[in-house]
Amino acid sequence: MVSKSRAVSAMSGENPGVDLYREALHIIDSGTSTLKMRDVLGRMANLGKKLAAKQTIGLPQEEGYLPRGLLRDELGKETAATRLVNMLVAKMRGEDFASEMSPTAFAPVPMPAAVKDMTKAKVMLITDGGLVPKGNPDRIEGTAATRWGAYNIEGRDHLRGEDYEVSHGGYDTRFVQEDPDRLVPLDALREMERSGVIGKLHDEFLSTCGRSNPLSNTRRLGREMAEKIKRDGVDAVILTST
Amino acid sequence: MVGSNRVVLGTGIVHVTGDAKLPPDDEKQLRRKLVQQALDALQTNEKQ
């Protein structure tokens, strides 16, 4: 991904803005102390000059910006096999080595407390399998979706294939197209609502597409859905995922 | 999170809460079972 941005910013690594915008522009690592401000401003100016002159920007550790999660192809002196074995040997010896790709770290999310009485609970269905009404009115993308939708299921006992389509490029969708309950189990939940196993099924199910979706999208999508869940007084969510 | 007791294993990617190989009534039974597992998980606190 080529950055067309000519802006340079500086943030501390844990600033939420970093996750949101690291791909969009270069963000100098400003650390957590204002004592370093002169140094940080100097790095910003240097990077800004390079960007203005359309020079090649070096690696994060060279220029002082936070890793952007972008991969750039380079011709190396050693084959991948050699580099890998060297890394493994170094690791086994307890020596320093630099991984070429760092896995994304997720801060652990505490599990919400269990629902005390499901017979009184308001339950909502959510899916990341890309089920949308025919015509995909909210134009939810089948890859790297930037949008989610809330779709009315009031009075419906089950989902009919003719009313829906699937916007998801990552799996064979014909079984879900035939019977969308195979992804969003409305029929089962409606029965459970009638028999009193659950208190109430929310009148809408939420949907988006989880395929190849960068965290910068999915963190926002999740946050927005969570806000709706809270606003609508939902007690429990069943999220089906492909 | 993998290993969490609030993640219920569905019947494969292409029919998470179903199974196209089963006759319709059996498929519905399977779906009810999976959904009940999910509801049970929601009523269970994190295992220590």
pLDDT, one tens digit per residue, over A86-127 is: 999 999 999 999 888 777 777 788 889 999 999 999 999 999
Contact state of A115 with B42 under an 8 Å Cβ cutoff: yes
Which of the four pLDDT bands, split at 50, 70 and 90, describes residue A4?
low
Pick the more confident residue, A144 or A19.
A144
H or E stretch at A82: helix A80-92
- Name the residue among A111, A192, A238 with its Cβ closest to that of B46: A111
Domain assignment present for residue A214? The answer is: yes
Mutation to test the B interface, candidates A158, A168, A238, most B Cβ within 10 Å: A238
* Angstrom distance (rounded) from CA A128 to CA A122: 20
C-beta atoms of A192 and B35 within 8 A: yes
| pLDDT tens digits, A45-76 | 999 999 999 999 998 989 999 998 887 888 88
Shared-domain flag, residues A122 and A232: yes
Which domain covers residue A37, as residue numbers?
Answer: 8-63
CB-based contacts of A220, cutoff 8 Å, min separation 6: A20
Q: How far A88 CA lies from chain B's nearest CA (Å)?
A: 26
Of A144, A110, A118, A116, give the one whose Cα is nearest residue A130: A144
Do residue A26 and residue A130 come from a single domain?
A: no
Query: pLDDT tens digits, residue range B20-46?
Result: 999 999 999 999 999 999 999 999 987
Residue A15's pLDDT is 85
Q: Which residues pair with A65 in a beta bridge?
A: A28
Q: How many folded domains does chain A comprise?
A: 2
Residue B3's pLDDT is 56
Compare CB distances from B17 to A174, A191, A240 and report the shortest one's residue: A240
Determine whether the interchain pair B17/A178 forms a contact, defined as Cβ–Cβ distance below 8 Å. Answer: no
A135 and A54 in a common domain:
no
* Reported pTM: 0.72
Q: What is the ipTM of this complex?
A: 0.92
Distances from the Cα of B32 to the Cαs of A200, B8, B35, B38, in angstroms?
A: 16, 13, 5, 10
Least confident of A129-133, A156-160, A182-186, B43-47: B43-47
Query: Highest-confidence range of A82-86, A104-108, A217-221, by mean pLDDT?
Result: A82-86
**Domain stop point among A63, A93, A110:** A63
